Structure formats: structure tokens, C-alpha cells
Amino acid sequence: MANQESESPESGKTSVTLRAVVDRIEDGDIAVLMIDADNTQTQLDIPRALLPSETEEGAHLRITIKLDGESRADTTARIRSLREKLLKGK
């Protein structure tokens, strides 16, 4: 079935790639994926629109989950700026 391709999150890496199989498509809109990572099977429901247009039942997928440090830094800076503006207004 599905299989984990790379290291686990505990290994200190900033990304992990999983293998999944499209088990079924429900109501033409939701793809039900089966992921088998570390001998634990997990179901993930995802809008079909987020998958490649050729995706159909039985398709094999690779899913990469990656930490987004740049986005986090941008959000932290924006919040810091807003907080400073609010404190100056008091």
C-alpha cells in the first residue's frame, strides 16, 4: 500500500515525504488517500481540486510536508510590528 519514503520528523529534518494511494473519490470532490507511515495506516481526505488533474482511484502519490521557516519569520515580524504599534497607541 502506501509507504513512507524518507526520514521521520523525529530525525531533525525539516521535511518528510510520504507515499499515498488514492483509495477512492467520494462525490467526485473528495479524494480519500491511504498513507502507511511507520506501520500505521492513516486516512487523509483532501479536495480533489488540490491534486493533479489526472488523479484517479488507485493513483500513487508522493506527499512532501515541509516546514516553512520563511513564512513563519514573516508572520512573526508582522505580529511584532502590530504589537509595537498597539503599545505606542496607549
Using one digit for the tens of pLDDT, what is the confidence trace for 28-61? 999 999 998 888 899 999 999 999 999 999 999 9
pLDDT of amino acid 45: 98
C-alpha to C-alpha distance for 32 and 48, rounded to whole angstroms? 9
pTM over 0.75: no
Domain boundaries, the chain: 9-88
C-alpha to C-alpha distance for 73 and 16, rounded to whole angstroms? 21
Q: 9-88: what CATH class?
A: mainly beta
C-alpha to C-alpha distance for 50 and 53, rounded to whole angstroms? 9
C-alpha to C-alpha distance for 77 and 61, rounded to whole angstroms? 35
Residue 53 C-alpha cell reads as 488533474
C-alpha to C-alpha distance for 62 and 58, rounded to whole angstroms? 13
Q: Please tell me whether residue 19 adopts helix, strand or coil conformation.
A: strand
